[in-house]
Amino acid sequence: MVGKGNSGFSKTGLDRLREVLARHVESGKIPGLVALVSRGEETHVEALGTMRHDGGAPMRRDTIFRMASTTKPVGAAAAMVLVDECRLRLDDPVDPWLPELADRQVLTRPDGPLDDTVPARRPISVRDLLTSTNGLGMDMTAPGTPIMGALFERGVYGQEDGWLLPAPEPDEWMRRLGTLPLICQPGERWIYNIGNDVLGVLVARVTGQSFEEFLRERIFDPLGMKDTGFHVPADKIDRLPPLYAPDWQTGEFRVEDPAEGGHHSTPPAFQSGGGGLDSTADDYHAFFRMLLGGGIHDGERILSRAAVELMTTNQLPPEQLAARVAFGRDSVHRGYGLGQHGGWGFGMAVRTYRGDYAPVGQFGWDGGSGTTVYADPHHQLVGILLTQTGMSTPDSARAIHDFWTTLYQAIDD
């Protein structure tokens, strides 16, 4: 345990946190993990287990993980830098930069045939992308619909080996996306993920830089996020564990993505704002501490306080919260555990009701590779748990649930 200062964690609670996480590792179902928790100036880190399920190098504080959907808040922050500078406006149409999305047709019914459409009532806006209400998304609650099938058949998502992140370079990806109708009218309903990938393309086109170049210049370098990017270079690849997807029935470990020669070992054609980043616990801690600090890191302003407040405030009206809550409940039933939040801000969940130990106002998100990152303004707390076992089985989800339960028990003012 690495710690300093005294800002309101009890020693008994932190010991319990370590014991609970160690139990998950010792079960043999999670090879290893890195956990970081902080309040004020006090930071504690646990690195438990090994990089591989059959042993090998131990987990380290600077182990690099596939952040998966916890990429989303970072991508939203990049867009908000441009909003701060008036290079984007929240309610402006995206058509000038993303002509592929102009003049959309919309399905008459979300589960209907692709050619049964009506014209969109208005263009897609920047706000629609930030809030995932742009009309296109991965509707996890309706996997058998024609539009969901078309997303994979037309190569918007999915690769030959089953990898879900987009494969084409951004212009081709946008062309393919532009051949599809919207599931619903812009601004009408929250649907997961696609808006975040489109947002990365938007940032790149507005700035004339690659998405990663802009992130590095305006977010990563100012925050000291030296190990964050869309691939892991050769001189750091030994710090990236394999990603496992254990068999649901047998529990046998299957490598979903190796480190060397895997999807994250070379620069991708598409830099995914929905799920492509690799990072460390300390790098993400810097990012979420910046959000807790109202946009400031070490005296340097990254985002305006107003931008951070917008990002971390629920943006969905009551009639749209139902779809958001349904997504969370569906993920819980599938064993993924992404529930009990309620709301959605820009690129992340915002808790609008207290369904577990975390208070209303907590913000952050989880990733399908077994990652979870949230900040809690009420307690000035950041919690990060990173594993290399994807949420195709409940094991990482259970570890994440127990992490948050024990972390909140450890608070002692």
191 and 237 fall within a common domain: no
The verdict on 188 and 261 lying in the same domain is: no
Shared domain check, 181 and 92: yes
pLDDT digits (tens, 9 = 90+) for 76-109: 999 999 999 999 999 999 999 999 999 999 999 9
Residue type, 127: R
> What is the pLDDT, as a whole number, of residue 6?
47
Q: Is 2 inside a domain boundary?
A: no
pLDDT number for residue 332: 53
Residue 196 domain-assigned (yes or no)? yes
66 and 121 assigned to the same domain = no
Rg of the chain over all Cα atoms, to the nearest angstrom: 20
Q: What's 71's DSSP letter?
A: G
Q: Are residues 60 and 102 in the same domain?
A: no
Contacts (Cβ under 8 Å, ≥6 apart) of 271: 170, 200, 204, 210, 211, 212, 230
How many domains does the structure of the chain reveal? 2
* pTM of the predicted protein model: 0.95
Residues 201 and 266 in one domain: no
Shared domain check, 249 and 134:
no
Token pair 């690769």 in the structure block, residue: 159
| Within-domain flag for 294 | yes
Contacts (Cβ under 8 Å, ≥6 apart) of 88? 79, 82, 126, 202, 206
pLDDT value for 329: 61
Give the structural domain span for 112: 77-212
What is the dihedral sign for C-alpha 21, 22, 25, 26?
negative
Residues 130-145: pLDDT tens digits?
999 999 998 777 778 9
Cα–Cα distance, 370 to 244 (Å, whole number): 10
Asked whether residue 1 is assigned to any structural domain, the reply reads no
Considering the domain architecture, whether residues 249 and 101 belong to the same structural domain is answered as no
Q: Is residue 89 part of a domain?
A: yes
Strands 243-244 and 255-257: antiparallel
Residue 4 lies in a domain: no
Quick one: residue 136, left, alpha or beta (phi over 0 = left, psi -120 to 50 = alpha)? beta
Q: What is the pLDDT of residue 249?
A: 76
Q: In this structure, are 81 and 52 located in the same domain?
A: no
> What whole-number distance in Å separates Cα of residue 196 and Cα of residue 200?
7
172: domain CATH number?
Answer: 3.40.710.10
Of the three residues 179, 212, 245, the one that is the final residue of a domain is 212
Output the CA–CA distances (angstroms, integers) from residue 316 to 20, 81, 288, 323, in the order listed: 35, 22, 22, 10
* Residue 32, SS3 per DSSP: strand
- Element housing 207 (H / E): helix 194-207
Domain shared by 233 and 360, yes or no: yes
Tens of pLDDT, residue by residue, the chain (413 residues): 444 344 689 999 999 999 999 999 999 989 999 999 999 989 999 999 999 998 889 999 999 999 999 999 999 999 999 999 999 999 999 999 999 999 999 999 999 999 999 999 999 999 999 999 999 998 777 778 999 999 999 999 987 777 889 999 999 999 999 999 999 999 999 999 999 999 999 999 999 999 999 999 999 999 999 999 999 999 999 999 999 987 777 778 899 999 999 999 999 999 999 999 999 999 999 999 999 999 999 999 999 999 999 999 999 998 888 777 777 666 654 545 555 678 999 999 999 988 889 999 999 999 999 999 999 999 999 999 999 998 767 788 899 999 999 999 999 88
Identify whether residues 315 and 365 lie together within a single domain. yes
pLDDT of residue 324: 75
Q: What is the predicted pLDDT for the residue at 339?
A: 57
Residue 5 resides in a domain: no
CA distance 228 to 281: 10
C-alpha 391/C-alpha 243 separation (Å) is 11
* Strand 255-257 relative to strand 55-58, pairing: unpaired
pLDDT at 56: 85
Which of 229, 253, 228, 233 has its CA nearest to residue 243?
A: 253
Asked if 400 and 332 count as a contact pair (C-beta separation under 8 A), the reply is: no
Cβ(25)–Cβ(33) below 8 Å: yes
C-alpha span between 387 and 64 (Å, rounded): 10
Same domain assignment for residues 91 and 58: no
